[in-house]
Structure 1
């Protein structure tokens, strides 16, 4: 998740109020609608977005590419948030930006090393004070200056259309905002721990899924509009236009309305920025480490541990910061959104069309290597084609309007191609062998023949190579079996063996 409004401040400065406002709302609508089915399936089957992608038309290795797309999301936004923290260090402590980048990155590592339990507690304990510091500045600004809203509406920034609406600029603004669509992956990292839905908890379960899933964009859009507002407030307080997209400048202006000009305002603004960056970047680092782990375990059949990939993800982010990516933010996010939207569009189409309507995709989420083809052209092919077309559009190959709306082209092409490919292939490439288990069949816990640990049956499969039941992790790491379970001579209905009672 991004800092309150940094991206929207950039959009507001670059494209003016009307284009930024409607672009943010258009992007939020797309993100919310595509996030509903993804959140539902992740919570119902207790899988993250990578495992969901495997079973939603991409195949075992096809989803490997999306692991890199998602990892890119985490390190791009980690670099963005780290840059913001370094700006606060620079303004308040006088620390040079390059050193601030390193400090802001390294301080995240010990927090992420403890895993999801500590991260969840951190988010819960800091949430009340964070919410107070988030929403009190705009209230204070409006109390001191009731005309701030009209100043925001009339804010032109450096836009060629001033504060007025221009369809080309609107499309570009929405495309940048759509780069946040992959955020649903980080929400899924929490949703996968949801309890089973029952008649008794059904209403609460749905509220939690919608709130923690697509519901993030409601708060996210509010924060983006707030950032757009504070960019205009910062400029009205004398901040140069080139620096008005820096959150420390924006919130310094906001807290000045609460505490007056002086050390209190800048101190509170600095504390708020640092707290926000810690809350955001621990999730970016954690989710990124999981994504890299998924990627390399499939390619190298090795799993050195999540901690190794924390360093990899943060190392890439720190390199981006030192290369001053903050000043190329719009171009980076605009380009990235094309690929991210194509991925999410293909997954969503499978979940809402191919599974329930066409019934060509399995009704459940199959994520085990032993049961999947390496590549499924339905999702993987749709994403690749949509990405190529939209990226060409982004670079102006198809004209100015296609360039401005390239992210929407990516969404439309992926969403349309997925069911078309499912019909053409008749769903042949979803399941590579007869599953010996699928969700809904009652089994007790079972032991893995390879590692000896106990797992739920959803995570197990029959393995002719090991002659017993194997967990999905050991199956992924096995480099000797040559996928013999998916070959004609294998016994696809190999029994699980004796469950653990």
Structure 2
């Protein structure tokens, strides 16, 4: 690089660093100086993001396809997997204030190896963005007679202004809209159960429906349960969106320890209990609609129709329709600001590491929304089960591999460094422990899903992904003796990384490239010395865009 190019790049980095509150610390850990929210506010913000109605559609779809018995067992299996895998990830995010990409780097994937998991996560965000946008467009079409294509566009563009200012705006939005959302969703459902108690018996006796609405007669079976669980497990990557909020948790101290743990568990793995309840309610409403008229089978999986039916049981049709559309709009906004926000972080992380150029989070906010619009226009709602079943194999392989590395390799076998590492120069480019586990687990399960190994095993593709992603990381870590976790163990800085309570230190050091003070966990010594031979420090943000490599420390045992 020429001196002029370096100067231009440094100026750009200074601008980026100066507006990091706007960029929401896309490429680095969330500093203590920015984390001013209490545990309860962070947890409420994180849980506000799961207000999506996709769970209602998912519950309805798996029940219609497999019957209530298989659906309930599948939802139960899904909840157990989410809790067990989500806990270690949520803890690391809240304790060390880093997102799942940064956790993944140091948990078996390496500095560049986690790029592939970022793409998996970005795919999750635009798939579910498009699903929620489709549900909102259905509501707008039903209530306001807006054409679907225009509804898709409107529901997508609507969220962009809300996401621009990151966590500050999202926290306020989620906190203020959650009570209204709960009232509009929970009270009508309770009314339905009380007014029509016979619906409960019909729900448990339901064995699925054919496309024409006739009974399918699906009995409870392991294959049927796994088919249902596979669709539900497409939501396994939701923990990454929870973590995008949990990374802003305040330091854990003796004074706030109980509140800290409660918030972390509730908003981390605990999200699945709310999700599972919504899936069961979605199936219940679908069965109720179908029991009212077989012709309803075609719309029973659409949340807007589900709630219109409930509301108009005790309200005039025009008011029922208005409230149902309002619920759909509020729910869509609450989740899609999170989908758009998290997707912009994931794409930016990947692009910057590969190209060493930082275009800004807002560029990829628009990019992610554009992909979602394309999916909606392709009518993804019509092939929802197949899409989610396919995606689940990739999501399971990633999340379970990282959870396996943390729980087994870090804590049980002690082959992986317990403290997460994410900085360039400290990590190998690719660590085979997680990277190979992901490729093998996802690849094998996808082959199973596409009947390569026969029809009998096809329903069990999620199990294949889960088992391989669980056992391969410790096997590969033991075989390589943990060699590929750390490229070096000394970051060249004498200041302690953590305070007396084990929280990331709030001490600051000046970045030699940007001239801005960054907190200790974000800093690393530069390989380039100062004019008098003194040690210079560089932030992870500046280091990630260092195209010359002159600041990257050499390998060292």
2:509 to 443, 446, 453: 446
Note if contact 1:60-1:374 (Cα within 8 Å) is conserved in structure 2: yes
Query: When the two structures are superposed, what TM-score results if normalisation uses the length of structure 1?
Result: 0.94
- Match runs of 1:70-469 below 5 Å: 70-158=121-209, 162-238=217-293, 240-259=296-315, 261-436=316-491, 439-440=497-498, 444-465=507-528, 468-469=536-537
CA drift of 1:156 comes to 2.8
CA drift of 1:243 comes to 1.5
- Secondary structure (helix, strand or coil) at the match of 1:446 reads strand
Is 2:100 the counterpart of 1:33?
no
- Corresponding residue of 2:96: 45
- Secondary structure (helix, strand or coil) at the match of 1:355 reads helix
- Secondary structure (helix, strand or coil) at the match of 2:412 reads coil
- Corresponding residue of 2:107: 56
**Unaligned 5+ runs, structure 1:** 493-501
Note if contact 2:108-2:435 (Cα within 8 Å) is conserved in structure 1: yes
**Unaligned 5+ runs, structure 2:** 1-49, 500-504, 531-535
* Deviates most, 361-370 or 159-168: 159-168
Q: CA RMSD in A?
A: 1.6
Residue deviations 1:10-64, cap 9 Å, x none? Answer: 1111111111111111111101111011000111100001100001110011100
Structure 1 pair 361/134, CA: closer, same or farther in 2 (3 Å)?
same
Counterparts of 1:291 and 1:484, CA distance in 2: 23
Structure 1 pair 466/77, CA: closer, same or farther in 2 (3 Å)?
farther
Note if contact 2:527-2:554 (Cα within 8 Å) is conserved in structure 1: no
Note if contact 1:140-1:257 (Cα within 8 Å) is conserved in structure 2: no
Note if contact 1:233-1:254 (Cα within 8 Å) is conserved in structure 2: no
Note if contact 1:23-1:174 (Cα within 8 Å) is conserved in structure 2: yes
Note if contact 1:373-1:429 (Cα within 8 Å) is conserved in structure 2: yes
Note if contact 2:401-2:437 (Cα within 8 Å) is conserved in structure 1: yes
Note if contact 2:57-2:303 (Cα within 8 Å) is conserved in structure 1: yes
CA drift of 1:6 comes to 1.3
* Deviates most, 398-407 or 244-253: 398-407
Note if contact 1:144-1:257 (Cα within 8 Å) is conserved in structure 2: no
- Corresponding residue of 1:498: none
CA drift of 1:444 comes to 2.2
CA drift of 1:435 comes to 2.5
Counterparts of 2:498 and 2:413, CA distance in 1: 21
- Corresponding residue of 2:120: 69
Query: When the two structures are superposed, what TM-score results if normalisation uses the length of structure 2?
Result: 0.85
- Secondary structure (helix, strand or coil) at the match of 2:114 reads helix
Counterparts of 1:386 and 1:482, CA distance in 2: 37
CA drift of 1:155 comes to 2.1
CA drift of 1:163 comes to 4.9
Residue deviations 1:218-274, cap 9 Å, x none? Answer: 111111111011111222343521211111111111212332x51111111110011
- Secondary structure (helix, strand or coil) at the match of 2:538 reads strand
- Corresponding residue of 1:499: none
Note if contact 1:349-1:415 (Cα within 8 Å) is conserved in structure 2: yes
Q: Which runs of 4+ in 1 moved over 6 A?
A: none
- Corresponding residue of 2:58: 7
Residue deviations 1:302-358, cap 9 Å, x none? Answer: 111111111000000000000111111111100000011000111001110100111
Counterparts of 1:161 and 1:148, CA distance in 2: 19
Counterparts of 2:551 and 2:481, CA distance in 1: 23
Counterparts of 2:509 and 2:370, CA distance in 1: 39
Note if contact 2:425-2:555 (Cα within 8 Å) is conserved in structure 1: no
Counterparts of 1:487 and 1:39, CA distance in 2: 31
- Secondary structure (helix, strand or coil) at the match of 2:217 reads coil
CA drift of 1:180 comes to 0.3
Counterparts of 2:529 and 2:135, CA distance in 1: 51
Counterparts of 2:289 and 2:305, CA distance in 1: 7
Note if contact 2:230-2:389 (Cα within 8 Å) is conserved in structure 1: yes
Structure 1 pair 215/337, CA: closer, same or farther in 2 (3 Å)?
same
- Secondary structure (helix, strand or coil) at the match of 1:138 reads helix
Note if contact 2:107-2:405 (Cα within 8 Å) is conserved in structure 1: yes
- Secondary structure (helix, strand or coil) at the match of 2:525 reads strand
